Every structure is written in C-alpha cells, then in structure tokens.
C-alpha cells in the first residue's frame, strides 16, 4: 500500500510541476513572441527545426505539427548539420533551434554556420543569456527552471515546455492564416480524421442499389425491395418526386396492428415525411442527423430528386462513427 501511495504522489507531483512550468511560460509571451510570429507569417521560405538529444525529438514532433497546420517545415539534426545537412537550408528559411541551456558544444558550432547562411535564427531556449540566446534574431523563452525528476537531470519539464511553446507558435500561425477544417483535411486525407473532414454523402451512397417502389406497388413488392436491397428501407417515388419511405420498422408495426393486411396499400404504410440529406453534405452531417432523429438511414437527394440511401453502417465502415 505504501509503494502504491508513493507512486500516486510522485505521478501527481510531476504532472503538477510540468503544468505549472507551462503556465509560467505563458506569462512570458510578449511583443518579442508576437514579432517572431509575424516574421514567420510573412517569410518566403520554410521553418527548419534543429536540436540535439531530446530537443531533437521535440523538434521532429513540431515539424509534423507545423506541416499539418499549413506551415512548411523540416527537421535538421544539429549534429548532422555540420556534416552536410546544412545544404537543406534555403534562402528565405528560418531556423528554430531548440536547446534548454543554449550552450551545448554542438549548438555553439552550428549557430555561426547558420548565421553565415544569412537566414533568420530563432532560439527556443530556457536561458536567454546563453550563447544561442544572444546570437538569435528572435527568442522564444522556453523557461524551465527545474526538471521534474528528483535529480534535476532528465529532460522532462524542459521538453514539455518546448513542445507546448512550439504548439503555441504553430496554432498562432494557423489562426493568423485563417486555416480552415477543409485546409486541414488536405494534409490529413487518410484515416478517420481525414474522412470526417472531407468525405461527403455523394462519396458513399452510390455503393448501394437504390431501393425504390412506385405508389401503386403492392406491400409484397415493398417487403421484397427492403429485403433484397438490404438497407432496411425503401423509398416510395413517383417519377422524380419522393412521396415517402417504408422501413422494416413500418412493416413490423403493420403486422402487429393489422391481422388482415391484404387490403392495405403502400399509402397506408409509408411515412410521408422521410428524413433526407443532400448529396453534397458532409458524411458527418448525415451522422449528426441520424443521431438526433434516432434513425439508421437517410434518403439522399440531388437537385430535389431522390437518388439513393446513406446508412449508418456506411458511416461505421468508413470510420466516421
């Protein structure tokens, strides 16, 4: 029991210390941060992230974040830079160098080489008085007074702060550019996230045959159409006009409420106010409508003409749900 209590206490302490460090950094956002954002917003080139050790890992994550939110970025390891990778830096680029101390040997070798290329150097550093802090054109103050471990050695708080500050830069650029969900989808076309942002009803409904019957069809025809097309419903149409819908639930209710249904007609069964969705709506809108109405299918319309169905199972298969 004592061991588990110690573990719980330590975990809470570490999380609180790192959270407090991020809050302290938020209080350091000032005009110099704004100037840095404005520079990145209007530069012609890319953002090149670099660092050594754990800072290099944070740099790689931030490259992914920047690229996915509309700011072209790439990673250059600080140690590899002096062995040829400096060639990836182009005119108009900005280099963001991540380092807690700002005084590591690799950084001291790299900084003059970057300055010689004539590109903008941005320091993401805890110690503003360090060599990196003094040489940079812009400084992002990633203050980390103490690491979270008891030895004050393992990069913990410092990497958390750098990551959070880098995210803040990326999102400030995103908002300044008016980056939209549709823009985001361009960079995330795969997986459930991308599909939620770009998949439309028109991309889904053509995969099914369209269950439909005329207003003068028999109830037997309606049941056959529902069963054979396997969407749990059939539309009732008269030419281009959607008259209603009959679901398998309507069939069950008919059997429950009528001992003799030989004289019943399609008009006696169908719902004359079917729930519909336009084919150019996003699939997520179809899901929201199904959830709010507690139904499993919608009639799809194009130019006010019924053209098919979209079913909840379609959305499940696509990973929208």
CATH of the domain at 217: 3.10.580.10
> Residue 52: helix, strand or coil by DSSP?
coil
With a cut of 60, say whether residue 145 has pLDDT above it. yes
- What distance lies between CA 270 and its chain's CA centroid? 41
Are 169 and 226 members of one domain? Answer: no
Last residue of a domain, one of 147, 179, 211: 179
Last residue of a domain, one of 179, 210, 229: 179
184 assigned to some structural domain: no
d(CA 73, CA 55): 16
Are 48 and 150 members of one domain? Answer: yes
Are 205 and 128 members of one domain? Answer: no
188 assigned to some structural domain: no
Are 88 and 227 members of one domain? Answer: no
Tens of pLDDT, residue by residue over 209-222, are 999 999 989 888 99
Contacts of 198 (CB under 8 A, 6+ apart): 182, 185, 189, 282
Are 241 and 289 members of one domain? Answer: yes
Are 240 and 148 members of one domain? Answer: no
With a cut of 90, say whether residue 150 has pLDDT above it. no
> Looking at beta carbons, which pairs linking 149-157 to residues 24 or more positions away fall under 8 Å?
149/14, 155/53, 155/54, 155/55, 155/100, 156/14, 156/18, 157/17, 157/18, 157/21
Region 131-144 average pLDDT: 97
Q: 315 φ, ψ to 5°?
A: -70, -35
pLDDT on residue 253:
87
Are 166 and 206 members of one domain? Answer: no
Region 60-65 average pLDDT: 96
170 assigned to some structural domain: yes
**Residue 96, domain CATH:** 3.40.50.10490
Are 220 and 159 members of one domain? Answer: no
255 assigned to some structural domain: yes
Region 252-271 average pLDDT: 82
Task: Tell me how far CA of residue 237 lies from CA of 67, 128, 222, 261, 270, in angstroms.
Answer: 49, 73, 12, 22, 11
Last residue of a domain, one of 127, 148, 179: 179
Region 152-173 average pLDDT: 95
Task: Tell me how far CA of residue 108 lies from CA of 52, 88, 119, 130, 141, in angstroms.
Answer: 12, 19, 17, 10, 18
| More reliable by pLDDT, 39 or 317 | 39
DSSP 303: T
- Per-residue confidence at 27, pLDDT binned at 50, 70, 90? very high
pLDDT on residue 17:
95
166 assigned to some structural domain: yes
Tens of pLDDT, residue by residue over 175-211, are 998 876 666 666 655 555 566 667 889 999 998 899 9
Are 207 and 303 members of one domain? Answer: yes
Task: Please state whether beta strands 94-99 and 73-77 pair in parallel, antiparallel, or not at all (unpaired).
Answer: unpaired
186 assigned to some structural domain: no
94 assigned to some structural domain: yes
d(CA 81, CA 83): 5
The tokens describing 220, both together, are 């037997």
d(CA 56, CA 76): 8
Are 156 and 208 members of one domain? Answer: no
190 assigned to some structural domain: no
pLDDT on residue 40:
97
pLDDT on residue 257:
83
- Per-residue confidence at 265, pLDDT binned at 50, 70, 90? confident
d(CA 242, CA 276): 10
- Per-residue confidence at 315, pLDDT binned at 50, 70, 90? confident
Are 109 and 252 members of one domain? Answer: no
pLDDT on residue 263:
75
Contacts of 92 (CB under 8 A, 6+ apart): 43, 44, 45, 119
Residue numbers belonging to the annotated binding site for Zn(2+): 77
With a cut of 70, say whether residue 61 has pLDDT above it. yes
Region 282-296 average pLDDT: 90
Are 20 and 162 members of one domain? Answer: yes
Task: Tell me how far CA of residue 162 lies from CA of 295, 302, 315, in angstroms.
Answer: 47, 50, 38
Region 292-299 average pLDDT: 92
Contact 152, 146 (CB under 8 A): yes
Region 53-77 average pLDDT: 94
Q: In this structure, how many other beta carbons lie within 10 angstroms of the beta carbon of residue 15?
A: 12
Per the structure, the complete domain to which residue 243 belongs is given by 201-318
d(CA 273, CA 64): 48
pLDDT on residue 1:
55
Q: How many domains would you assign to the chain?
A: 2
Tens of pLDDT, residue by residue over 79-95, are 999 888 899 999 999 99
């Amino acid at each position: 029991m004592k061991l588990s209590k110690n573990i719980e206490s330590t975990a809470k302490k570490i999380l609180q210390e790192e959270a407090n460090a991020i809050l302290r950094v938020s209080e350091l956002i000032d005009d110099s941060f704004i100037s840095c954002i404005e520079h990145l917003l209007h530069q012609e080139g890319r953002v090149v992230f670099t660092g050594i050790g754990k800072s290099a890992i944070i740099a790689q994550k931030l490259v992914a974040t920047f690229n996915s939110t509309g700011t072209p970025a790439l990673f250059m390891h600080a140690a590899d830079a002096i062995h040829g990778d400096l060639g990836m830096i182009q005119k108009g680029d900005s280099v963001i160098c991540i380092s807690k101390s700002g005084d590591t040997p690799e950084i001291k070798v790299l900084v003059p080489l970057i300055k010689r290329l004539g590109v903008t150097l941005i320091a993401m550093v805890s110690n503003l008085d360090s060599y990196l802090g003094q040489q940079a054109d812009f400084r992002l103050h990633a203050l980390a007074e103490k690491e979270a471990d008891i030895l004050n050695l393992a990069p913990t708080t410092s990497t958390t702060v750098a990551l959070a500050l880098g995210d803040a830069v990326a999102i400030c650029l995103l908002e300044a550019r008016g980056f939209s969900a549709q823009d985001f989808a361009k960079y995330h076309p795969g997986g459930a996230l991308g599909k939620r942002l770009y998949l439309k009803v028109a991309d889904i409904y053509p995969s099914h045959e369209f269950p439909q019957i005329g207003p003068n069809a028999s109830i037997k025809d309606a049941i056959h159409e529902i069963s054979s097309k396997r969407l749990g419903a059939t539309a009732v149409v008269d030419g281009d006009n959607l008259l209603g819908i009959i679901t398998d639930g309507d069939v069950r209710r008919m059997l429950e409420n009528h001992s003799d249904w030989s004289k019943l007609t399609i008009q006696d069964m169908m719902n004359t106010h079917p729930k519909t969705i336009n084919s150019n709506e996003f699939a997520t809108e179809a899901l929201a409508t199904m959830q709010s109405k507690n139904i499993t299918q919608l009639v799809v319309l194009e130019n006010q003409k019924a053209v098919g169905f979209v079913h909840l199972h379609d959305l499940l298969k696509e990973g929208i749900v």
